[in-house]
Structure 1
Amino acid sequence: MYLTGDEPFIGVDGKSVADFWRYCVPNLMTNTSRGLLAQFLVHTALGSTTQPDEWDCYDVAGEDGLRVEVKASAYLQSWEQRELSWISFSVDKRRPWTDGIGFADEATYNADVYVFALHTAIRHAEYDPLVVSQWEFYAASRAAIADLNQKSAGLATVRRIAQGPVGFDDLGDLIRSVGATAG
């Protein structure tokens, strides 16, 4: 069921789905919200019209069938910090889920392209997740991630194995370019 936000809750006066969304995602600085926002930016950059399914073993599907996993990180968190956060991205294998079967027995790399979205603000007063120029993006092929054979990768590793950084305007082209060479 895909909603617009205008749908009212039945039996709860004056509350709509948009009220629920405001409750769930009021702060785009939290780790969960930042990850979802990064997925949305990748989805938008690819011009994808495919809605995500939380059980898919990747985050965004391109119109051409390209499967993209999105990882997000930032120097700042939603709480006060004494120092900037260490930039790290999870790159571990995952067990895919299939309807009627459940989780696969073996964990694998399931996306064609891995996108690393980094929010670059280093002062809370300047942090605005809606300003896409504050994001930089990197993209790596499944083979590059598999060759790492690691559970996580720091920013130096991402910079070594991935293409980028690029801004939002070049993100779709970067993903398609890496996807075309992913084989």
Structure 2
Amino acid sequence: MRQSAHQSLTPRPLPPLQGNEPINGLPDATVVDFWRFAMPDLRTNNTRGLFAEFLVHQAVSSPEARVEWASHDVATDDGLRIEVKAGAYLQAWEQRTASTIRFSGLRARTWSPDGGYSEAKSHNADVYVFAVQTAREHAAYNPLDTAQWEFYVLPRAVVAALDADSASLSTIRRAAGAPVAFPALGARIRAIDARPGTTTTD
């Protein structure tokens, strides 16, 4: 039986890369060398965002790997959808002053292989986590130190009530209250889960 064009383009599952896989044609290179080339500095905007997603992934003990085209960043084993936004005062380039933190993409278009991008933007997660790397001096800046991160957690309804595609850190602070440190992040996310049929506790 002939497969349809759509079926023939369905990607096959692959195991997660370990880093030691060789690159054919480059006898001295492995996937780790590619990672070092592509993500050598956790202070860059894209990589910092990915690392913040990883921290949330670890905080909720998610079994799911990141899916680049998903409508949210992290999913738990019981289906909680989490969107992660990250910001920092210091960047990988020279600055005159510390950055003003603003989180974008609160509303976004969803994508599907059949329909492509949706026409309208929407809020696509149950819980939103706003991660801030708090270092203000490069001599002390260590992205790998979870103690240098603070997190603000909001349910979808509160983010939707902002009625904006982006929000400043001060706006998020007013809505969320005091930040939570990494050791308590998973519990805060679970406590704020406002999905129908869930029980929340502080």
User: What TM-score bracket applies, with the shorter chain setting the length?
Assistant: over 0.9
- 1:143 maps to a residue whose letter is A
Q: Letter of the aligned partner of 1:48 in structure 2?
A: S
After TM superposition, list the pairs within 5 Å mapping 1:20-59 onto structure 2: 20-59=34-73
Q: Percent identity?
A: 49
**Equivalent residue number for residue 133 of structure 2:** 119
Asked whether 1:102 is paired with 2:116, we answer yes
Cα offset for 1:163? 4.9
**Kept in 2: contact 1:143–1:182 (CA 8 A):** no
Q: Which has the higher contact order (CA 8 A, sep 6+)?
A: 1
Read off the aligned partner of 1:84 and give its amino acid letter. Answer: A
The offset of 1:92, in angstroms, is: 3.2
User: Match of 1:170, as an amino acid?
Assistant: A
Q: 1:115-165 deviations in whole A, cap 9, x for unaligned?
A: 000000000110000000000001111111111011211111101112540
Contact 1:142 1:182 in 2 (8 A): no
Answer whether contact 1:91 1:145 (CA < 8 A) is retained: no
The one-letter code matched in structure 2 to 1:4 is Q
Partner of residue 168 from structure 1, selected from 148, 164, 182: 182
Size of the alignment, in residue pairs? 182
Q: Name the amino acid aligned to 1:79.
A: W
| Correspondence for 1:74 among 88, 94, 102 | 88
Residue type matched to 1:36 in 2? Answer: L
1:136 to 150, 154, 157: 150
Q: Paired residue for 2:27?
A: 13
Whichever residue aligns with residue 53 of structure 1, its letter is V
Gaps of 5+ in 1: none
**Distance (Å, rounded) in 2 between the aligned partners of 1:92 and 1:67:** 14
SS at match of 2:159: helix
What is the DSSP-based 3-state SS (H/G/I as helix, E as strand, rest coil) of the residue aligned with 2:26? coil
TM-score, structure 1 as length reference: 0.95
Alpha-carbon offset, residue 11 of structure 1: 1.0
The residue aligned with 1:84 is 98
**Offset of residue 182 of structure 1:** 4.5
Q: Report the alpha carbon displacement of residue 91 of structure 1 after superposing the two structures with TM.
A: 4.2
2:179 match: secondary structure: strand
List 4+ stretches of structure 1 deviating above 6 A.
none
Q: Secondary structure at the match of 2:22?
A: coil
Q: Which has the larger radius of gyration?
A: 2
